[in-house]
Homo-oligomer: A and B are copies of this chain.
Amino acid sequence: MGCIMLVLGVDAGGTSTRAVLATADGQCVGYGRGGSGNPTSSGVSLARDGVFDAVGQALRVAGADLGDVTGLAMAIAGHDSGGGENSWILDPLRERGFRGALHFESDLLAMYSSGAVAPVGYGVVCGTGASAVRVQGGRVAAAADGLGWLLGDRGSGFWIGRRAAHAVVDQLEGVGAETALTPLVLHAAGVAVDGAAEPGRDGRPIGLERLIRALYAQRPVRLATLAPLVFDAAEAADPVACGILERAGELLVQTIELVQQGSGPVVAGGSILARDGAPRRLLREHFAAAEGEYPVVLVDSGAAGAAVLALRNAGAPVDERVLARLRAGIPAG
């Protein structure tokens, strides 16, 4: 591949890793996916495998090797401070012939850069977690939330899923309204819906004890997997589900307001905003009402943005056209 500059953008998430091998004009010449690339959440060994699986695929597609790569930008939550703890991935990269520069980048900056090239703007993610950033001068200038499932992530998929579980528990316990979420959540938790309302040993519905047992048997963060059921129930006009999604959207807007200062493009990502519903609607209404309206750009990962950051780090200018080419060249999903 000799004289063509190649960079690697790696979006290393807690669930999956995406690698984009790109040229200076934004051609995606290779793309690959791997498992978790976050050493904090998954351990160094798994994260290294995730990154090398994705990178290896991207290189194979292009018939390139690590020696051809000028720079690598790795977007990863909690690792945007750069320097220091990069030996877990830099050492094996060097062993396999990588001679370029490695930069760690904010996962939120990569997400923003997947949708906008303006040096000033906003990134909003609402998936399992929720957070917002203001980008200024091409860096993260202010951040809000992203404080985790136990104490933050207001309006996130976890927040929505926990509210759904609560609504069902409250109905079965007799302190909450009847909701269409109940059969949906019972079914998702593997609890028989038929007979769930029958009184058990202590007078409470049999389904309550079974649901509690099923939900405590999994990691708390798995409550986020109930969020799609809330969208389903809201589409069927269930008032409890509608209320949960409206409130989630309000909280998300509140998080955005914490970093908002002037106008700029808005890039949105994450499973909750990917779906049509109150959170995305309230987000759009909020920015439509704000001075100097910008459309909300939806992106499905930070992969293109990681490549953008790798190009910028290598001194290659990135404009709308380069970004559009990158986005068009990256397979969906």
Contacts and interface: CB of A to CB of B under 8 A. Distances in A.
A173 to B, nearest CB: 7
A81 interface: yes
A156 to B, nearest CB: 14
Specify which of A150, A220, A258 lies most central, judged by the most chain B CB atoms within 10 Å of its CB. Answer: A150
A147 interface: yes
A173 B144 contact: yes
Interface residues of A, number: 33
A169 interface: yes
A201 B165 contact: no
A202 B318 CA distance: 25
A203 B258 CA distance: 11
Contact of A169 (B143, B151, B201, B223): B151
A141 interface: yes
A151 B175 contact: no
A67 to B, nearest CB: 35
A151 B254 CA distance: 25
Contact of A216 (B148, B202, B216): B148
A173 B151 CA distance: 11
Interface in A308-324: none
A44 to B, nearest CB: 19
A81 B147 contact: no
Given A203-B141, A204-B143, A220-B220, A175 B258 contact: yes
Interface in A185-234: 201-204, 208, 212, 215-216, 220, 223
Interface in A133-160: 133, 140-145, 147-148, 150-152
A92 interface: no
A169 B142 contact: no
A166 interface: yes
A239 interface: no
Contacts of A215: 150-151
A213 to B, nearest CB: 10
A212 B254 CA distance: 20
Contacts of A143: 202-204
A295 interface: no
Given A147-B212, A169-B147, A216-B148, A175 B254 contact: yes
Contacts of A169: 147, 151-152
Given A142-B202, A152-B169, 18 more contacts: A142-B204, A143-B202, A143-B204, A144-B173, A144-B204, A147-B169, A147-B173, A148-B216, A150-B162, A150-B215, A151-B166, A151-B169, A151-B212, A151-B215, A152-B212, A173-B258, A174-B258, A220-B220
Q: Which 6 A-B pairs have the closest CB atoms?
A: A143-B202, A142-B203, A151-B169, A147-B212, A150-B220, A151-B165
